[in-house]
Amino acid sequence: MTARTSPYAAGASYVRSVTTIRDVDALRDSGADIDLAEGTPRGTTRIERAPRPASRATAGTVPGVAGGILRLSHVDVTVTDLDLAAAYYTEVMGMSVTARDAEAVYLKCWDEEDHHSLKLRYAPRVGFDLMAYKVQHEDDLDELENKVARYGMPVQRVGRGESVGQGESIRFDTPSGHIMELVHEVEKVGTNRGRVNPALSFDGHQPGQTGLISPPRMDHMLITAEEVGEATQFYTDVLGFRITEQLLDGNGHQLGTWLERSHSPHDLAVVHGTNGGLHHFAYWLDDWDDVRDAADVLAYNGIQLDVGPTRHGITRGSTIYFFDPLGTRNEVFTGGYRPDPDFPTITWTEDNIGRAVFYYEGQLNDRFMKVHT
């Protein structure tokens, strides 16, 4: 008869390496001081397992998440009318003001803990200042600063107190012509409802109340780049983003990439266009009913819609695109999927670009492709 090898043999050798089986009778006879329950019978054995060493992945503040970029922290844009912009983002979008001075307004969504996710700064022209992403560990700033510098991009250190609501950060230009900031320490102001036994209302409002969209959080942003492939390589190889989906032209060149760090369909997307452009930033809503209600709020307030309500092929998300009163494109977004570490990159081709971007309509409009901040 041929001997059969147990499929658990490899695992068994590992268990033996961390486990000691001790004969309780022998311990008793040797006079050793052993801690046993009263009445333990003779013939008992005790299994003692050595503790396994902790790794950085389990020792951090976010269990199971390695160091590096966690998620989008805040988007900074310029506006020509600070009062009008602040009124729109509070009285239509339902954000809360956390700080204000003569030149800027800082806002957050109702379920966000951090100081702000949107900064509005007065300027003679509408524009895009920077995108900020939060890192998990303080020493991630040093590590990523070195990586960006080795890539050939100068890095600026921003000291504690130089930016409202946050500690030290690093800033640098990306190959796509955008200013990017990475920050670890951000002032915690708490959610508007609290975490334990939350109130039924907050600030006099409830999510979904007529006249307010009230998203719980900021979700992602989409930027434009002349060389999508080069920009994507920087975000993946240097900053550690992962491609969930990509759109290729007939020659196999990337026309768009969707990148994640937070196990969502995307935290950042890059599409072909002018270097330094902001196509949109997006708010998360919890379900399709919230997207439908957002459409009612936008229509009631006379907000200009760009596309939707509709669904994306890429990311499978349900969406509406629209413009704030000064011309910066916003999105509300829900749905999608959870891309675990073994999630394969999904590839779309240019001949299916219509269904890839707008699955129901199957075609793009010129404004969506050409207008950006």
Task: Point out the residues that are catalytic.
Answer: 220, 266, 280, 312, 321, 331
Distance spanning both ends of the chain, measured CA to CA: 75
Helix or strand run (H / E) with residue 294: helix 288-300
Beta bridge partners of 155: 172
The backbone region for 107, taken as left when phi is positive above 0, alpha when psi lies in -120 to 50, beta otherwise, is beta
**Number of alpha carbons in the 13 Å side-chain half-sphere of residue 211:** 6
- Cβ–Cβ contacts within 10 Å for residue 295, how many? 18
Cα(346)–Cα(258) distance, integer angstroms: 10
Structure tokens at 11: 């695992």
Q: 235 Cβ partners below 8 Å, 6+ apart?
A: 174, 241, 259, 268, 270
Q: What is the SS3 assignment for 100? A: strand
- Closest among 220, 265, 258 to 236, alpha carbons compared: 258
Nearest residue to 304 via CA among 289, 287, 326: 326
Q: What are the contacts of 193-197 at 24+ separation with CB within 8 A?
A: 193/110, 193/111
Strand-pair category, 127-135 with 118-122: unpaired
**How many angstroms separate the CA atoms of 247 and 249, rounded?**
7
Q: Which two tokens stand for residue 125?
A: 């022209």
In this structure, are residues 226 and 326 in contact, taking their beta carbons and an 8 Å threshold?
no
Q: Is 358 exposed, middle or buried (0-12, 13-18, 19+ CB in 10 A)?
A: buried
Distances (CA, A) of 87 to 1, 96, 221: 83, 10, 22
* Amino acid at site 91: E
